[in-house]
Amino acid sequence: MKRFIKLICAVLVVLTLCLGLCSCKEMDEIREKRAEWGDELMTVIRFDGKEYKLLSPCEDLVVDLENGNNYRYVTLEEVPLLLTDQFGSIIKISSDREMIVCGHWQNDYECNKVYARSDLYEELEEAIENYELGWLCYQNNYYDYETQEFVTERILMPEALNEIVNKASELEGMILDEDDLPYGSSDVTLYFCDKSMRFVRENKYIRFTKDNFGKWYMIYRRAKDMEWVGVEISQEDINVLLNAIPKDSM
């Protein structure tokens, strides 16, 4: 830490000169993008007058980040403002300002380090311990021309669809080659989630596709042998799915 402080002091003279060239607006922009560590173990982040605490690792926790390249930096309190991007770590803020993402858990790049706003921390910790992925949801991604932002809309599927999927999963189906899985223009992909859709397993999904003859199939990866399987779905059952998703999303 002492060596670090000495390094900071060595550049203060240069920074003093730079300050004269840096406008108040630029300084405000840097300040707005800056967060600070709240403890030595880096389990707390202070940002925009609020405190965020590190959650337990959970790859299924949904964090919808701000659109665009709205990244910020978290750094030590003693780092001068103009050195924020040099000595800080990149963070991203959730669109609802409830969570912050900063890095990954060790070498597990499927699981981000997520910090929750302190007033929500206990609630989220409890949810992480107890959630169950017993539902299916549809994820609709679209561009909102009014706000000029990309939007992710998640829609919880009706309970009847769970029964249809469970019934289809019990059938033998046909084994499919992973390198040659069928795709169609009417594909619909569903993800396993909890009822609140706060937790979504995006690396495990079920896909419904229609072939050239108008037949619908459910494509999924079988748990017992990890084989990709295709099962034909009746039009009556597929209508349950099609009636639950936006008509303009296909």
More confident: 142 or 72: 72
Q: Do the Cβ atoms of 84 and 34 come closer than 8 Å?
A: yes
Mean pLDDT, range 173-199, rounded to an integer: 91
**pLDDT, average across residues 29-47:** 90
Share of the chain above pLDDT 70, in %: 89
What pLDDT, on a 0 to 100 scale, did the predictor assign at position 10? 52
Pick from 8-22, 57-71, 133-147: least confident: 8-22
Q: Which residue has the higher pLDDT, 242 or 28?
A: 242
Give the pLDDT score at 81: 83
Alpha carbon distance 65, 97 (integer Å) = 9
Q: In angstroms, rounded to a whole number, what is the distance separating the alpha carbons of residues 35 and 42?
A: 12
Where along the chain do its domains lie? 24-129, 136-249
Measured distance CA(206)–CA(57) in Å, rounded = 25
Contact call for residues 46 and 75 (beta carbons, < 8 A): no
pLDDT digits (tens, 9 = 90+) for 62-79: 999 987 667 899 999 888
In the predicted model, what is the mean pLDDT of residues 128-148? 89
Mapping DSSP onto H, E and C, the string for the chain reads CHHHHHHHHHCHHHHHHHHHHCCHHHHHHHHHCEEEECCCCCCEEEECCEEEEECCCCCCECCCECCCCCCEEEECCCCCHHHHHHHCEEEEEECCCCEEEEEEECCEEEEEEEEEECCCHHHHHHHHHHCCCCEEEEEEEEEECCCCEEEEEEEECCHHHHHHHHHHHCCCCEEECHHHCCCCCCCEEEEEECCCCCEEEEEEEEEEEECCCCCEEEEEECCCCCCEEEEEECHHHHHHHHCCCCHHHC
CA distance readout (Å), 101 to 15, 49, 54, 132, 198? 30, 17, 9, 23, 16
Q: What mean pLDDT comes out for the span 202-214?
A: 91
pLDDT at residue 147, rounded to an integer: 76
